Chains A and B, each alone.
Chain A
Amino acid sequence: MKTTDLDFYYGDFPALEGVSLDFYINRVTALIGPSGCGKSTLLRCLNRMNDLIPYSRAEGKVLLDGQDIYDPNVDVVGLRRRIGMVFQKPNPFPKTVFENVAFGLRVNGISKKTYLANRVEESLNLAALWDEVSDRLDDSALGLSGGQQQRLCIARALAVEPEVLLMDEPCSALDPIATQKIEELIHQLKSSYTIIIVTHNMQQAARVSDITGFFYLGKLIEVDDTDTIFTRPKLQQTEDYITGRFG
């Protein structure tokens, strides 16, 4: 998946300018930068979630397997099934644990009970949540702890077998232990997905990602291997940000 020369506007305000960035399969790409720098906007461009915002528009290209997802012929619903998303705040549906995970499958028209049950178990296992909730599948998802809810949201996204997983500050509302669990999970999931994560937490970016892109004022300032960005950034601005001198 890649973007070429992507601009994004909220009304007249340019939130992204000329962003060209490649995302690789089996790699975790972290997007860092101060608040308002456009990293979340970029993430939400990748599954066209920004379509919901009135008076916004995107220019440039976002390619998934070589196809521009902003092409007018693209089926947005189908696209979103290929690109899973995990949000900043855990947002399980006010349904049971099982129905939360099964939701994406059901809207895909799958209703066979045994298949659903298998996929739900599989997804919860992938999200390292099965052992904690296997006896509470019929309880409300809202009774789970924050960390469990976020892993449930990950399981829910995985259930539809996406190719790309977008994570928008998935740990910002979680305590350190829950955060650690999610990070371990990201490590494991890397082997089968393209993962793109927005984070405010520099240590997190250093821990979980392979590639890091630094954004400032809507522009991609620098992108490189995470090790390089955190040890020998090419630009002074990047170094200032990751060492905490600004931002």
Chain B
Amino acid sequence: MMSFAGTGQNQIKEMDEFARKGRGRQRRERAIRIFFFCIALASITTLGLIVVFLFMEGLPIFAKVSVNDFIFGRYWYPTDEPPDFGIFALIMASLAVTTVASVISIPLGVLTALYLAEVASARIRELVKPIVELLAALPSVVIGFFGMVVVAPFLQEVFDLPTGLNLFNASLMLAFMSIPTICSISEDAIFSVPTELKEASLALGATHLETIVRVIVPASISGIATAIILGMSRAIGETMVVLMVAGGATLIPSSLFDPVRPMPASIAAEMAEAPFRGDHYYALFATGIVLFIFTLLFNVVADHIAHKYRQVGAATL
């Protein structure tokens, strides 16, 4: 398009034209850059504002209740006179459902990932992996519904319980929700262990199982750990399932089959009836802060592990 074949006057004209076009291109590049910057800024600012808002609406409760009483208080009677704002039972409920859910989902998720990445034939892997990932797309309300209508009556009958809506049911449903996350991310990590390492192990006369246990899992442990923590953080923050199937009783669980009231369920159930900017309202936001700190911690830990034990590829020179 650009020819410098002309001479004299002609050539100078072409050079001018070239420079003009160049300036136009630069302007356009700058405009695009600014556009993307604004978009990114808008989304990040919005998220930042939500955090600011969360703290603004949550912190006032601590003028009435000390942080210590709020977190370790045994009684949550927000509508009594005088009210009690102690969320210890809610925190314990959240931790309990997350722990029990993890006990179920971690072995299932990681072993499924190992099966898919190492044992299954390529064809099965191609088929099953997308299905597992699709499971992550199941709306939580559907899972909650399943827990309510199918699992709860079953538990009630089999274990002869007063209610099937309890800690165990919620944990089971949360486990279903975190398995796809854990499985999918672990599988990526396991699958990306370099073939060279696997071959080195086999060439030394290690069996397939020894290779998996001694080489492949250690080499992908950071990815697996990240997967586990992201799965757990999904479980602790999940609202709809625990709202539907955890039972909703504000008590510190002493058995697997106690009904419980995890933090997200409490916030979702009570927010609509809490008077705007009343103490109850502030206390719910403060519960949100505690929940936020938990999930933030989970993510920081996941990030830290991912960096510290970064996937070590084939040796680099």
Chain A interface residues toward B at CB < 8 A:
47, 49, 52, 54, 77-78, 80-81, 84-85, 87, 89-95, 103-104, 106-108, 141-142, 145-146, 149, 153, 156-157, 160, 173-174
A93 B317 Cβ-Cβ under 8 A: no
B314 A89 Cβ-Cβ under 8 A: yes
The 10 A-B pairs with the shortest beta carbon distances in the complex, nearest first, are A81-B205, A146-B317, A104-B204, A91-B196, A94-B312, A85-B203, A107-B206, A80-B205, A90-B315, A91-B200
A157 — which chain B residues lie within 8 A by C-beta? 203-204
Closest B residue, CB atoms, query A85: B203
Q: B12 interface residue, CB < 8 Å from A?
A: no
Most chain-B Cβ atoms within 10 A of its Cβ — which of A81, A89, A93? Answer: A93
B315 A87 Cβ-Cβ under 8 A: no
B214 A103 Cβ-Cβ under 8 A: yes
Q: How far is the CB of A85 from chain B (nearest CB, A)?
A: 4
B204 A89 Cβ-Cβ under 8 A: no
Give the distance in Å from the alpha carbon of A142 to the alpha carbon of B297 in the complex: 31
Give the distance in Å from the alpha carbon of A146 to the alpha carbon of B317 in the complex: 5
Query: Which listed residue (B122, B194, B201) contacts A103, Cβ 8 A?
Result: B201
Give the distance in Å from the alpha carbon of A95 to the alpha carbon of B215 in the complex: 9
Q: B300 interface residue, CB < 8 Å from A?
A: no
A81 — which chain B residues lie within 8 A by C-beta? 204-205
Q: Can you list 13 A-B pairs, Cβ within 8 angstroms, ordered by A?
A: A49-B203, A77-B205, A77-B206, A84-B203, A85-B203, A91-B197, A91-B200, A93-B218, A107-B201, A107-B205, A142-B312, A145-B317, A173-B317
Given contacts A91-B196, A91-B197, A91-B200, contact A142 B315 (CB under 8 A): yes
Q: B29 interface residue, CB < 8 Å from A?
A: no
Closest A residue, CB atoms, query B312: A94
A93 — which chain B residues lie within 8 A by C-beta? 197, 200-201, 215, 218-219
B200 — which chain A residues lie within 8 A by C-beta? 87, 91-93, 153, 156
Chain B interface residues toward A at CB < 8 A:
121-122, 194, 196-197, 199-207, 210, 214-215, 218-219, 312, 314-315, 317
Give the distance in Å from the alpha carbon of A81 to the alpha carbon of B205 in the complex: 5
A108 B218 Cβ-Cβ under 8 A: no
Q: How far is the CB of B204 from chain A (nearest CB, A)?
A: 4
Query: Which listed residue (B199, B204, B215) contacts A160, Cβ 8 A?
Result: B204
Give the distance in Å from the alpha carbon of A157 to the alpha carbon of B202 in the complex: 11
Closest B residue, CB atoms, query A159: B204
Give the distance in Å from the alpha carbon of A157 to the alpha carbon of B204 in the complex: 7
Most chain-A Cβ atoms within 10 A of its Cβ — which of B122, B194, B205, B317? Answer: B205
Query: Which listed residue (A92, A95, A174) contacts B218, Cβ 8 A?
Result: A95
B199 A49 Cβ-Cβ under 8 A: yes
Q: How far is the CB of A96 from chain B (nearest CB, A)?
A: 12
Closest A residue, CB atoms, query B211: A107
Give the distance in Å from the alpha carbon of A122 to the alpha carbon of B200 in the complex: 20
Closest A residue, CB atoms, query B310: A94
A92 — which chain B residues lie within 8 A by C-beta? 200, 315
A54 — which chain B residues lie within 8 A by C-beta? 121-122
B219 A78 Cβ-Cβ under 8 A: no
A174 — which chain B residues lie within 8 A by C-beta? 317
Closest A residue, CB atoms, query B311: A94
A146 B202 Cβ-Cβ under 8 A: no
B207 — which chain A residues lie within 8 A by C-beta? 77, 107
Q: How far is the CB of B213 from chain A (nearest CB, A)?
A: 10
B202 A104 Cβ-Cβ under 8 A: no
B122 — which chain A residues lie within 8 A by C-beta? 54
Closest B residue, CB atoms, query A51: B202
B196 A78 Cβ-Cβ under 8 A: no
Q: How far is the CB of B311 from chain A (nearest CB, A)?
A: 9
B210 — which chain A residues lie within 8 A by C-beta? 107
A52 — which chain B residues lie within 8 A by C-beta? 199, 202
Q: How far is the CB of B217 from chain A (nearest CB, A)?
A: 12
A107 — which chain B residues lie within 8 A by C-beta? 201, 204-207, 210, 214
A80 B218 Cβ-Cβ under 8 A: no
B202 A49 Cβ-Cβ under 8 A: yes
A81-B204, A103-B214 are known; give 11 further A-B pairs, CB within 8 A: A77-B205, A90-B315, A90-B317, A95-B218, A103-B204, A104-B204, A106-B214, A107-B201, A153-B200, A157-B203, A160-B204
Give the distance in Å from the alpha carbon of A78 to the alpha carbon of B206 in the complex: 9
Q: How far is the CB of A40 from chain B (nearest CB, A)?
A: 12
